[in-house]
């Protein structure tokens, strides 16, 4: 290959000369930084690039290359710190081995555990995982998806995406299957927690723990628009109905997930309320942060008197007191479901898998 001077062959001699000096200087400067390619190794081993490639990517037996040459090439590769150029490999093979995931945030145990488990399992399955967090920004979600497409991801996992179907529409024409995690979508298969059952049980638990009092209960956090919040509210209501209590609209504060919003919503509620609630269902650890802060500010003792159930787990939050119950979403099982769907490879049949959370 690859005579870098070939297209200047017709230049006047003097010009050629200068150019050659320039090239040589550049080569000198690059000596230690330029990456070794299979062509370099081929030259060193006195063989061809195709052979080097076959040796290094493992199918040299198929190509009937001698053990001796193979070891020679491998040794040279080690010596020179050869690293495969993935871009070239991907371009030729038309298969990147990359699996992408978008996630709203890293800064709580649920999502960071998702990211970490995803990476581990993806690697175990032979993929190269790329995770990107989209800061709960719908625009960024799409941009991130587009970028992932540009990098030729083979799958895209949309975790807690605000509009997973739009991402699907972006990926489908490119032949890239998507999968929804945590929040379901209508156009691709989904793996989510069994929010209803989890919320139902959690509500039962806090109602039982607060049974000696009767000042009522509260649901804090989340967005009414999203599926998970809806299901959890349904579980919350039904657990009340079971013991003959009807939940009113005023008891539902779906104010968003952000901690400040939960804090603000709770504060206004408490100001208007005659008495503080006996039990609270908090829709995420992020919201819980706001709730506990808010209670602390208002009245140090208050926190210890309200029974709290939180749909999500955090080790320190769990240590906050005996009156606080947490359900932990089963990330391991959810991610296993994700990868078994990927391995199955059937992307036509849409499924929704609901994984029971751990109480």
Beta strand pairing call for 98-103 and 155-159: parallel
C-alpha dihedral (40, 43, 47, 48), degrees to nearest 10: 50
* From the list a copy of itself, DNA, none, partner contacted by residue 119 (C-beta under 5 to 8 A by kind): a copy of itself
- The CA distance from 354 to 97, in Å, is 28
SS3 279: strand
In angstroms, give the least distance from the CB of 146 to DNA: 13
Tokens of 67: 């053990």
CA atoms of 340 and 117, how far apart (whole Å): 14
Using CB distances below 5 to 8 A depending on partner kind, what does residue 173 bind out of DNA, a copy of itself, none?
Answer: a copy of itself
Local structure of residue 250 (DSSP, 8 states):
G
Q: Which does 147 bind (CB under 5 to 8 A by kind): a copy of itself, DNA, none?
A: a copy of itself
**DSSP-derived secondary structure letter, 257:** S
Q: Is 172 in the site for a copy of itself (CB under 8 A)?
A: yes
Residue 40 CB, nearest distance to DNA (Å)?
8
Out of 19, 74, 128, 353, the residue judged to bind a copy of itself by CB under 8 A: 128
Residue with tokens 């195709």: 50
- Report the residue number, 39 or 128, with the smaller CB distance to a copy of itself: 128
Per CB under 8 A, the segment of 68-76, 157-165, 262-270, 284-292 that binds a copy of itself is 284-292
CA nearest 119: which of 145, 99, 142? 99
Helix H or strand E encompassing 348 = none
Q: Judge contact between 210 and 279, C-beta under 8 A.
A: yes
Stretch touching a copy of itself by CB under 8 A, among 14-22, 47-55, 89-97, 211-219: 89-97
The C-alpha atoms of residue 317 and residue 200 are separated, in whole angstroms, by 21
CB of 64 vs DNA, minimal distance in Å: 4
Nearer residue to DNA within complex by CB, 41 or 156: 41
Closest to a copy of itself by CB, 3 vs 33, is 33
Q: What are phi and psi of 130, to 5 degrees?
A: -125, 120
Question: Which one of 292, 335, 337, 355 is in contact with a copy of itself (CB under 8 A)?
Answer: 292
Residue 138 tokens read as 């719908």
Residue 208 site contact among a copy of itself, DNA, none (CB < 5 to 8 Å, cut-off depends on kind): none
Residues 56, 302, 320, 358: which binds a copy of itself (CB under 8 A)? 320
The answer for residues whose C-beta is within 8 angstroms of residue 333's C-beta and 6 or more apart is: 355
Tell me which of DNA, a copy of itself, none is bound by residue 32, counting a contact when its beta carbon lies within the kind-specific cut-off of 5 to 8 angstroms. a copy of itself
Catalog residues that contact DNA under the rule CB under 7 A: 1-4, 6-8, 10, 35, 37-39, 46-51, 53-54, 56-57, 59, 63-66, 68-69, 84-85, 88-89, 91-94
Tokens 């038309």 identify what position?
94
Q: What is the dihedral of CA 184, 186, 190, 195, to 10 degrees?
A: 30
Residues that bind a copy of itself (CB under 8 A): 30, 32-35, 80-81, 83-88, 90-91, 96, 105-107, 109, 112-113, 115-116, 119-120, 128-133, 135, 146-147, 149-152, 170, 172-175, 259, 285, 288-289, 292-293, 296, 314-317, 319-320
């Amino acid at each position: 290959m690859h005579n870098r001077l070939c297209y200047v062959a017709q230049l006047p001699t003097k010009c050629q000369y200068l150019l050659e000096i320039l090239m040589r200087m550049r080569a000198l400067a690059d000596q230690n930084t330029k990456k070794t390619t299979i062509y370099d190794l081929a030259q060193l081993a006195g063989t061809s690039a195709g052979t080097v490639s076959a040796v290094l990517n493992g199918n040299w037996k198929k190509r009937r290359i001698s053990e001796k040459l193979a070891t020679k090439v491998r040794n040279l590769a080690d010596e020179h710190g050869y690293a495969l150029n993935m871009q070239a490999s991907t371009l030729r093979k038309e298969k990147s081995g990359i699996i992408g995931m978008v996630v709203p945030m890293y800064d709580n145990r649920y999502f960071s555990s998702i990211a970490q488990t995803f990476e581990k399992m993806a690697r175990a399955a032979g993929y190269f995982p790329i995770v990107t967090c989209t800061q709960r920004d719908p625009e960024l979600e799409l941009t991130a998806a587009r970028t992932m497409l540009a990098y030729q991801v083979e799958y895209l996992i949309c975790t807690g995406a605000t509009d997973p179907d739009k991402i699907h529409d972006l990926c489908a024409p490119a032949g890239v299957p998507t999968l929804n995690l945590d929040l379901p979508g209508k156009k691709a298969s989904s793996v989510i927690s069994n929010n209803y059952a989890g919320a139902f049980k959690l509500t039962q638990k806090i109602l039982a723990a607060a049974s000696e009092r009767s000042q009522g209960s509260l649901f804090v956090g989340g967005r009414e628009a999203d599926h998970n919040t809806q299901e959890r509210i349904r579980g919350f209501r039904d657990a009340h109905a079971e013991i003959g209590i009807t939940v009113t609209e005023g008891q539902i504060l779906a104010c968003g997930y952000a901690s400040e919003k939960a804090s603000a919503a709770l504060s206004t509620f408490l100001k208007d309320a005659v008495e503080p609630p006996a039990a609270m269902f908090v829709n995420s650890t992020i919201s819980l942060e706001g709730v506990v802060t808010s209670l602390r500010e208002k009245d140090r003792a208050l926190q210890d008197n309200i029974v709290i159930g939180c749909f999500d787990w955090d080790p320190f939050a769990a240590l906050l007191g005996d009156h606080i119950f947490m359900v932990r979403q089963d990330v391991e099982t959810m991610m296993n479901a994700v990868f078994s769907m990927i391995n199955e490879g059937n992307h036509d049949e849409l499924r929704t898998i609901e994984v029971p959370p751990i109480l």
